[in-house]
Amino acid sequence: MTRGRLRLLLAAALTLALVAPLGWLWWASLLPASYSAMEMGVPDHGGGPVGRAHAAGHGTGATSLVELDPTPTGPADVRVDLVARQGRVRLASGEEVDGYTLNGRSPGPLVEATVGQLVEVRLRNDDVAGGIALHWHGVDVPNAQDGVAGVTQDAVMPGGSHTYRWVAPDAGTFWYHSHQLSHAQVTGGLLGPLVIHPEEQREPAARDVLDVGALAHLYAGEPTVNGVAGVDRVGAEPGQRVRVRVVNTDNGPNAVWASAAYRLVAVDGVDVHQPGVVEDRAVGLPAGGRADLELEVPADGSAVRVSLLGGVGVEVGPEGASAPDPPQPERRVDLLTYGAPADLGLDPARPNRRFEYSIGRRPGFLDGRPGLWWSVNGELVPDLPMYVVREGDVVRLTIENHSGQVHPMHLHGHHAVVLARDGERATGSPWWFDSLDVADGESYEVAFAADNPGVWMDHCHNLQHAREGLVTHLMYDGVTTPYRLGEDSGNVPE
């Protein structure tokens, strides 16, 4: 063998040694053309008992989430028809942007119900090419009604329809949005507000506080509230008590503050216990999160203003009255200490399972694409943890972030309560949430009751991040999904 030949062989061997592991990593990251959400993760039992096999369909005596749905048959109390379209969205200013509408508008119509009422939403897809699905963000509905394409249903293709039926479980401020190709469809406006009233306020006459919606959304980068790029005005008498229901539908954090003192009466649809009067502080809103501010229209005939980031807000008061545009306070309401303690209804000191959700970022392949991707507990898709619980468990979860960016974490089907942040214990009202901003370097200790069997997404609500792999699932032992993800299925929830 000549020296030249030897050198060539050595070079080839070296290249192979370098490329082969990369090739293997690339190959291992490829997702099948059709797969179950339940195959996408490494089961983590959190120190609790290990049950049957969890891979889709392998479990003996496994129950499909469809069979778990307890929703009664019979006529609904609230019926809503929603027709989705793709195309131009006309903002209240008259400006038009590309996006999606429900019943010809975005945001879609307000869906309103009372606790205990049977809600029926008939969703029709007119022409949204990629298909659609509707998720009831923050409403702890039965799993089969959760509206996640490929996990709890198939995407509704153009010309198709799907009926959702669920009994309104809890009062509060919520919203609904597409959970098919959500990174595009939610940004494009396939969403709307949802309010559930407490039973004693079933009749509008029984409500002495005026409800005002304030749904924030960026359309093609333009900040709006209730579709208005500026100030949305609502009429009210002097002295009227008002509840402003603020919803953040964007991928990034928002904040809300007011021209008058207010109380933060609810967070993520759950009442705050003994909320104190807030002055000169703003409330932060994670992506997907809600905050209800209660305040009073001044007696002197002027209006009150509630402001959000981007120069938008709502102004409530008598016709023609205006309010000063309040500067954004530097300080924030800290939910760790706001309000007064109350019973949690669960004992977090004796959890049945403990999980870690540690968010990082590292280079690798995501379905064959090289890049810098989000990791959970050091792993990338498809090796993220699959959190396994049983009904009746008390679960503790540590959410930690060292990824360089903030992540608004959202667990479907459950509300969790914050126990501590960076080791500092919560001392205020129980801080129940479904959307929680975990900033870079932060660590939250949270707990929840496993009381809603199914297969639930637990993901970042910055929907670009979800698309970049920041999605895990919480599954109940013995529950399976008949739906499929992957190219062949047509289901792309992110």
Using the rule CB under 5 A, which residue among 415, 465, 473, 484 binds Cu ion? 465
Q: Of the listed pieces 238-246, 339-347, 393-401, 459-467, which binds Cu ion according to CB under 5 A? A: 459-467
Q: Is the peptide bond before 382 cis (omega within 30 degrees of 0)?
A: yes
54 touches ligand C2O by CB under 6 A: no
CA dihedral 479, 483, 488, 491 (to 10 degrees): -110
Q: Which secondary structure element, helix H or strand E, spans residue 23, and what is its range?
A: helix 3-29
Q: How far is the CB of 242 from ligand C2O (least distance, A)?
A: 26
Q: Of the listed pieces 28-36, 57-65, 328-336, 454-462, which binds ligand C2O according to CB under 6 A? A: 454-462
410 touches ligand C2O by CB under 6 A: yes
Name the one residue in this structure whose structure tokens are 């008061």: 317
**DSSP sequence for 300-342:** TS--EEEEETTS-EEEEESTT-----PPPPS-B--TTTSS---
Using the rule CB under 6 A, which residue among 46, 99, 288, 385 binds ligand C2O? 288
What is the pattern of x (binds ligand C2O, CB under 6 A) and - over residues 245-284? ----------------------------------------
Give the residue from 482, 447, 456 showing the smallest Cα distance to 388: 456
Q: Of the listed pieces 74-82, 203-211, 343-351, 404-412, which binds Cu ion according to CB under 5 A? A: 404-412
Assess contact for 244 and 285: CB atoms under 8 A.
no
Q: How far is the CB of 372 from ligand C2O (least distance, A)?
A: 23
Choose the one of Cu ion, ligand C2O, none that binds residue 45, judging by a C-beta under 5 to 8 angstroms depending on kind: none
Query: What is the maximum span of the chain, computed from C-alpha positions, in angstroms?
Result: 100
**Closer Cβ to Cu ion, 177 or 407, answer by number:** 407
Choose the one of Cu ion, ligand C2O, none that binds residue 123, judging by a C-beta under 5 to 8 angstroms depending on kind: none
415 touches ligand C2O by CB under 6 A: no
The Cα–Cα gap between 83 and 157 comes to: 12
**Closer Cβ to ligand C2O, 164 or 257, answer by number:** 164
Neighbours of 26 (CB within 10 A): 16
The Cα–Cα gap between 225 and 256 comes to: 12
Contact residues: Cu ion, CB under 5 A: 407, 460, 462, 465
Q: Which residues bind ligand C2O (CB under 6 A)?
A: 135, 137, 177, 179, 288, 410, 412, 457, 459, 461
